[in-house]
Amino acid sequence: MTRRKPDIANRRPLLALSALVLCLSIPVVRAGAAHAASQILAVTAKEAHFRAGPSTRSEVLFTMDRYYPVRVLQAKGDWLRVVDFENYRAWVHRSLLGGIKAVVVKVDIVNIRDRPGLDGRVVFKAKRYVPFKVLSRQKDWLKVRHDDGDVGWLKRTLVWGRY
């Protein structure tokens, strides 16, 4: 039995198909990067250090608690450049953030109520920068939970984030 060299002409369709798949996948990768740069993520760890650069050696600019939401501006390896509701920009490690629905109080103080609507009884108050996980939404009201377990309703216009 004699072995023959593969014919180059027989491999041309396979090479063309490989090139086509490669060309079609490039826009998908770019679209994915653009999507990552527009999404709102929230701190999923107990706390997260937001840094001046994409490294654990970079200066810590601020530290935020679980559920603090940020908008992704740029990705660099495992690091994300983010911005918060006050336009503070920093880098944070990707592993500290997740795609959960979360909001942060953007006014000086907000009443958290036992049911949606201004007729709900105030069960506690939250100050500016306090983050919450969003449990549900009813029109302009959000049912939220603080990391300490407190649950209640607040008006959507008083917070910033993903809901």
The pLDDT of residue 53 is above 70: yes
Q: What is the pLDDT of residue 71?
A: 98
What predicted TM-score, i.e. pTM, was given to this entire model?
0.77
Please report, for residues 32, 123, 126, 128, 142, the alpha-carbon distance to residue 114 in angstroms, rounded to integers and kept in the order given. 40, 6, 14, 20, 11
Look at 12 and 144; give whichever has higher pLDDT. Answer: 144
Instruction: Tell me the per-residue pLDDT of 24-51, one tens digit each, with 9 for 90 and over.
Output: 333 333 334 444 557 999 999 999 999 9
- In this prediction, residue 160 carries a pLDDT of 98
Q: What is the predicted pLDDT for the residue at 10?
A: 46
Mind listing the domains of the chain with CATH numbers? 40-100 (2.30.30.40), 103-161 (2.30.30.40)
Asked if pLDDT for residue 116 goes beyond 50, the answer is yes
108-137 average pLDDT score: 98
- To the nearest whole percent, how much of the chain has pLDDT over 70? 77
Higher-pLDDT residue of 27, 58: 58
